[in-house]
Amino acid sequence: MVKKSETLSFDEFIAHHERLLCELLELFPAPIHLFRGDGMSVFINSAFKEQSGFHNMSLLAGKFNLLTDPYHNEVLNFSGYIKKVFSGAPIHSVTV
């Protein structure tokens, strides 16, 4: 348990409250796919599952890395966008 006087970084906060964060994100009607900072997939909500038709999270979690995925980076040419997002910069729109 974290003491009230401790200051947590964002990553530490997320690690301590991961289950609650996932429960909250499950309530959103918009598709959400979460990745760790190293690009590894860790969570998809129900809206993402419904929209994509991808229902087996065990095939993604710990196995799919967006930063190294050739389809998104080379075929769709999203490499620049992906690197920008993972650096913390927002992306407002992407035209395919």
71 is a domain residue: yes
Domain assignment of residue 53, yes or no: yes
Q: Across the chain, where does the E strand assignment appear?
A: 33-35, 41-44
**Separation of alpha carbons 75 and 58, rounded Å:** 25
- Inside any domain, residue 4: no
Q: Is residue 95 part of a domain?
A: no
Q: Please say if the pLDDT value at position 20 is more than 90.
A: no
Q: Cβ–Cβ contacts within 10 Å for residue 66, how many?
A: 19
β-pairing, 41-44 with 33-35? antiparallel
**Residue 35 falls within a domain, yes or no?**
yes
Give the model's pLDDT for residue 96.
Answer: 59
Q: Model pTM?
A: 0.69
Which residue carries 């095939």 as its tokens?
Answer: 59
Residue 70 lies in a domain: yes
> 21 pLDDT band (50/70/90 cuts)?
confident
Question: How many domains is the chain partitioned into structurally?
Answer: 1
Owning domain of residue 80? 10-86
Q: What is residue 63's predicted lDDT score, i.e. its pLDDT?
A: 86
Per residue in 65-86, pLDDT (tens digit) is 999 999 999 999 999 889 998 8
In a domain, 63, yes or no: yes
Query: Does the residue 67 lie in any domain?
Result: yes
